[in-house]
Structure 1
Amino acid sequence: MTALDPAVDSLARARRQFAWTSTAERVADAVREEVVEGRLLPGARLPEQRLCTALGVSRNTVREAMSQLVAERVLMREPHRGVFVARPDREAVRDVYRARRLIEPAAVRAGEAADDTRVAAVRRAVDEGRDAAENGRWDDLASANQHFHRALVALAGSPRLDQQMALLLAEMRLVFHRMPGVREFHEPYLTQNARICALLEAGERDAAADAVAEYLRAAEEHLLRDYPS
């Protein structure tokens, strides 16, 4: 078994979504989700034929999807070697946080779809993170944190923002893989996630948005302090 096998198996399960309407964009979404969920790691090589077989699509479709993900900085293409999962540098970290500071607090403060159902999704992500931490499942804790921030942006009710957040979360997961410890980075933020969720449940959206902005500022500082050059 190789490091790539769990991601390929997951992609094969995602194949059911494509049916007869498979497109490069759907393939790109499926591969990006493997990055977000931490099953594709920085530096992993993505052989075209394995992806074609797993997803049941043509080589041209896979190539088009890979080109899209290279443009998104989720993958990188190396001449004569192939396509690899990207390794974000320090400037990429800074730029991702620039975007997140614009998107996440605004979605919390002014999101038009912040109803009980979407706030409940934020609470589920908090509970998911607590359960993962209590059982020592640190990679699952990292995934739960991704789900928390995705749920915050979903409060806006905008498919375009949801898509943009998917791109940012894919880059963030690659950033997290380069940090010295998953537990050490993510566990301290569980309390802040719960606080933000409680403010949302109480209808205190301005306070929740301010807390998200401060959270992101502190997280960026934390990352850059320990991030490899």
Structure 2
Amino acid sequence: MVTTETEVGELAEDRPLLTRTSTAERVADILRTRIAEGYFPPGQRLSEDSIGKALGVSRNTLREAFRLLTHERLLVHVLNRGVFLKVLTVADVEDIYRTRRLVECAVVRHLGEPPFAVDALDAAVTAGENAAGEEDWKRVSTANIHFHRELVALAGSPRTDELMRSVLAELRLAFHVVSDPRLLHEPYLLRNREIVQALAAGDRAAGEELLARYLDDSRANLVAAYGHFAQEAGLD
């Protein structure tokens, strides 16, 4: 499976994000965001011609962006075949959740004194609830990614933000292979809301406890759902 001009057509909408002095980092950021939003499935080959045309960038710039995303473990380069979205193993999923637990819980633990800026968190939860009401589980998944990015953003650390953008984009690749996304995402909407309520009340300890349990349960559920796919694909 390879990207076609039709499939990457929406990337043209991202051209305003690029300037005449656009860099590979900006291209990588656009592609990373699209991966986190579920735009590209794992295992898909990325077409240099289609993506370069959609974004209006040179082949060299695009290849450098691919190199950056390969370093972030989002893409893999296969000699004489091209660049592909990574297909995760169960061990990858486990490691992603270890990283998330270390980072996200630490962010909540060290928030400082309340009140905490939870408006963006609240908006992400509301977006997820609205998407669930329309049974649009892809949008629910995207809203959940946004929720956790906004949670990490409370730390006010560009380095932490950069780390988690890659981690959460990589996680999204695992979501594609789950046969019933509703069971994967719907139960966590209420739990997201509970975390927001705890932080809005200024209760860091409760927020961290809710988040830790959330991540542990989410890891177990995703690993169980992902395990069957990984076994069939010989990835475990």
The answer to whether the 8 A contact 2:28-2:65 is kept is: yes
Shift of 1:8: 2.0
Paired residues, number: 227
Structural mapping, 1:118-137, within 5 Å: 118-137=117-136
* CA RMSD of superposed structures (Å): 1.8
Partners of 1:200 and 1:21 lie apart in 2 by 41
Shift of 1:55: 1.3
What are the superposed Cα offsets for residues 117-172 of structure 1, whole Å, 9 maximum, x if unpaired? Answer: x4100000111111011111111111111111111101101111111111011111
Identity of aligned residues (%): 44
Q: Which runs of 5+ in 2 are unaligned?
A: 231-236
Shift of 1:206: 1.6
What are the superposed Cα offsets for residues 11-53 of structure 1, whole Å, 9 maximum, x if unpaired? Answer: 2111111111211111111111110011111111111111211
Relative to the length of structure 1, the TM-score reads 0.93
What are the superposed Cα offsets for residues 176-226 of structure 1, whole Å, 9 maximum, x if unpaired? Answer: 111121111000111100100100110111210111111111111111112
Aligned to 2:144: 145
Aligned to 2:223: 224
For 1:34, give the aligned amino acid. Answer: R
Structural mapping, 1:197-212, within 5 Å: 197-212=196-211
Partners of 1:73 and 1:203 lie apart in 2 by 36
For 2:45, give the aligned amino acid. Answer: R
The answer to whether the 8 A contact 2:3-2:47 is kept is: no
Q: 1:196 to 1:179 in 2, by over 3 A?
A: same
Partners of 2:169 and 2:9 lie apart in 1 by 19
The answer to whether the 8 A contact 2:115-2:200 is kept is: no
Shift of 1:6: 6.8
Shift of 1:111: 3.0
Aligned to 2:74: 74
Partners of 1:5 and 1:131 lie apart in 2 by 31
Partners of 2:176 and 2:113 lie apart in 1 by 32
Relative to the length of structure 2, the TM-score reads 0.91
Partners of 1:93 and 1:126 lie apart in 2 by 23
Aligned to 2:233: none
The answer to whether the 8 A contact 2:66-2:75 is kept is: yes
The answer to whether the 8 A contact 1:122-1:148 is kept is: yes
Shift of 1:9: 2.8
